[in-house]
């Protein structure tokens, strides 16, 4: 069976991210399984191997271990890996919070790199989200901190929210 058939369709009814997190988070290894599920649904996102550690309405924390595969030539975490971490952090907060009949897409992103990123990094997002599925554009802020708590990058995702497509 092809792997793409195992990945749920986000256009189906319900909130797959919220349902999966609520089922898996308390199980041994559940956060790792959830993070892999997200990485399977969005393969490029999964390429950095980050792990979702906290997730609730409008809030998320995602960790990225510093290892050779995410580093640049200066032995710090690559700028694109930081952007990927920022997008994942903001997206899971938004996806978890949406009503069952809504979907989203990132329409733009800005990121400022504050200092060299080394060691385990934590992406943090806290944002206000609409209650319904009406078409709206929101800004989703993300801060990425190193193990000492210093901000290494700040990002803002420009996210479009709207209703899921109606099945014919």
Domain boundaries, the chain: 7-163
How would DSSP label each residue in the chain? --GGGTSPPTTSSS-HHHHHHHHHTTSTTHHHHHHHHHHHHSHHHHTT--EEEEEETTEEEEEE---GGGB-TTSSB-HHHHHHHHHHHHHHHHHHHS-TTEEEEEEEEEEEE-S---SSEEEEEE----SS---EEEEEEEEEE-TTS-EEEEEEEEEEEEEPPPP-
49-105 confidence digits (pLDDT tens) = 999 999 999 999 999 999 999 999 999 999 999 999 999 999 999 999 999 999 999
- The residue behind tokens 């929101």 is 138
Q: Rounded to an integer, what distance in angstroms lies between the CA atom of residue 158 and that of residue 39? A: 21
What integer pLDDT is reported at residue 139 of this predicted model? 97
Instruction: State pLDDT tens for residues 114-140.
Output: 999 999 999 999 999 988 899 999 999
β-partners of residue 104 are 161
Please tell me the class of the 7-163 domain: alpha beta
- State pTM to two decimals: 0.90
Residue 127 to residue 138: CA distance in whole angstroms:
9
Beta partners for 61? 54, 124
Which band of pLDDT confidence, cut at 50, 70 and 90, is reported for residue 167? low
Q: Which of 5-14, 33-42, 124-133 is predicted with the least confidence, judged by mean pLDDT?
A: 5-14
């Amino acid at each position: 069976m092809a792997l793409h058939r195992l990945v749920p369709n986000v256009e189906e009814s319900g909130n797959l991210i919220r349902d999966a997190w609520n089922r898996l988070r308390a199980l041994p290894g559940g956060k790792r399984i959830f993070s892999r599920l997200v990485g399977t649904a969005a393969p490029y996102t999964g390429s950095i191997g980050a792990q979702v550690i906290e997730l609730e309405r409008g809030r998320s924390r995602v960790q990225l271990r510093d290892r050779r595969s995410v580093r640049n030539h200066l032995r710090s975490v690559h700028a694109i890996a930081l952007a990927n971490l920022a997008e994942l952090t903001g997206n899971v907060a938004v996806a978890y919070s949406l009503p069952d009949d809504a979907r989203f897409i990132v329409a733009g992103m800005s990121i400022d790199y504050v200092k060299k990123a080394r060691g385990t990094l934590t992406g943090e997002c806290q944002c206000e989200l609409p209650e319904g599925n009406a078409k709206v554009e929101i800004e989703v802020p993300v801060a990425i901190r190193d193990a000492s708590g210093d901000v290494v990058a700040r990002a803002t995702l420009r996210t479009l929210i709207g209703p899921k497509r109606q099945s014919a």
